[in-house]
Structure 1
Amino acid sequence: MFVITAGRTGPNRSLRFGGDLSLDERGHRDMSALAAAAVDPAGVVVICGPERATRESCALLAADHVVDARLASPDFGAWSGLAPEEIEPEQLRAWFTDPSACPHGGESIASFVERIHRWRADAEPAPDVCVVSMPVAQALLADDAARYFAVEVRPRPSTNSPAGDDTGSPECPFTSAMSPDTVFRKKLKHVLIVGRVRRCSSGPKKT
């Protein structure tokens, strides 16, 4: 399964929690450039999260796709739309150090990661391409909630899986026509191709 993060919006450019805004101009441009590099996506199963920017990104990439509410970003509660400097330091510290903490009244990291891992374990059949928000991509790659913030999600110059992958798998239809070192880094630096994410064989880990 290939994971692509949604294009840029104002909030993720300025590092704000949550929100549900549309792609900004750069986000539209990046996703359109990625779509232009695609090969024939016939038969490719594409699933995306429910956020506006995620749906807009997916629509630019694939006319036929399915929106799955289970792939929603974490509920940031009272922090939604706020920048880190607008939040009490003690609350931020608790949230970053204790996966079970829920100082904003929304969803804890433990609950969020468990939800995403459950989706990954139950997805049948697994989609070929998954378009999600950055936090969801981070949760998909994290081994468990305790390691969530240790996962660094950033643009990659290739589609190799960070955790290894089955040999002989088909190329992602949205990257095989691209030059990784030039097109991806220069034109699509705000779009993330994480690589393949292997399903959990034993379901989500308990925290």
Structure 2
Amino acid sequence: MNRIFLVCHGATDAVKQARFPADEPLSRPLAPLAGPSRPDGLGRGPELRCAQTAEALGWDAVVDDALADLDHGSWRGRSLAEVDQHELMAWMTDPDAAPHGGEPVSAVLKRVAAWLDRQADVGRLGVVTSPAVARAAVLAALGAPASAFWRVDIAPLTVTQLTGGPGRWTVRETGRPLA
């Protein structure tokens, strides 16, 4: 049986300050972390915060662009208060909206679902990625609608585990803190 361990990267200043992420580092260096044991393969999103989290896990993870965070376009680095509130509401309620010029939620959902469909015979795969990618993976596994995207809470340094394979993923657990 395949197992995918989606590890959410550590906290950043953007998270703490309610800003849209750029490619910022973690808020503070991480002590060595104990992640899922014995992964057969390792991947990560291309962001610096994913690289730093993978390093703290002792993982020599391969960059996979399909695991990249949601592209926030012109909102990168800006606080929630600095963006047009009507545009923000449109983006959060319409999965196809992209007023920031970046990626709509529907696109990240499709990208992550396609990535999951390519994960046949991976054994135990450990990946470090963003909350958006972990949310999208949960929705894909459940066959949940795009409107549920903002209703899944993924905290920093937690693990979401999926089991199964393409077309038949199951959410085994979510929100388990790393040791």
> Is 1:49 aligned to residue 45 of structure 2?
yes
| Unmatched segments (≥5 aa) in structure 2 | 170-179
* Structure 1 contact 48–65 (Cα < 8 Å) conserved: yes
- Structure 1: 5+ residue runs without aligned partners? 155-189
Alignment check: 8 A CA contact 2:5 2:36 kept: no
The one-letter amino acid of 1:34's match is L
CA contact (8 A) 1:3 1:130 kept: yes
> Which amino acid letter does the alignment assign opposite residue 14 of structure 1?
Q
- RMSD of Structure 2 on Structure 1 (CA): 2.2
Per-residue deviation, residues 137-188 of structure 1 (Å, max 9, x unmatched): 111112342221122223xxxxxxxxxxxxxxxxxxxxxxxxxxxxxxxxxx
Q: Choose from 155, 160, 169 the match for 1:194.
A: 160
In the TM superposition, what are the counterparts of 1:57-206 in structure 2 within 5 Å? 57-126=53-122, 127-142=124-139, 143-154=144-155, 190-196=156-162, 198-201=164-167
**What SS is found at the alignment partner of 1:131?**
strand
Q: 2:18 aligns with which of 15, 19, 29?
A: 15
For 1:197 and 1:104, the matched residues in 2 are separated by 34
CA apart distance, 1:77: 0.8
Whose Rg is larger?
Answer: 1
Counterpart of 1:67, as a letter, is: V
Are the aligned partners of 1:140 and 1:197 in contact in 2 as well (CA < 8 Å)? Answer: no
Write the distance in 1 (CA, Å) between the matches of 2:66 and 2:161. 20
Q: State percent identity of aligned pairs.
A: 28
Rounded to whole Å, the distance in 2 between the matches of 1:98 and 1:131 is: 27
Question: When the two structures are superposed, what TM-score results if normalisation uses the length of structure 2?
Answer: 0.80
Offset, 1:56? 1.3
- Pairwise CA distance, 1:200: 4.4
- C-alpha change, 1:144 and 1:47, in structure 2 (3 Å) is farther
Report the Cα distance in structure 1 between the residues aligned to 2:163 and 2:128, rounded to whole angstroms: 13
| CA-CA distance at 1:75 after TM superposition | 1.1
Please report the TM-score for the alignment, with normalisation by the length of structure 1. Answer: 0.70
Over residues 59-104 of structure 1, what are the superposed CA-to-partner deviations in whole Å (9 max), with x where a residue is unaligned?
Answer: 2213432111111111111111111111111101100111111111
Number of matched pairs: 161
More strand by share: 2
Task: Tell me which residue corresponds to 2:33.
Answer: 34
Question: In the alignment, which residue of structure 1 is the partner of 2:176?
Answer: none
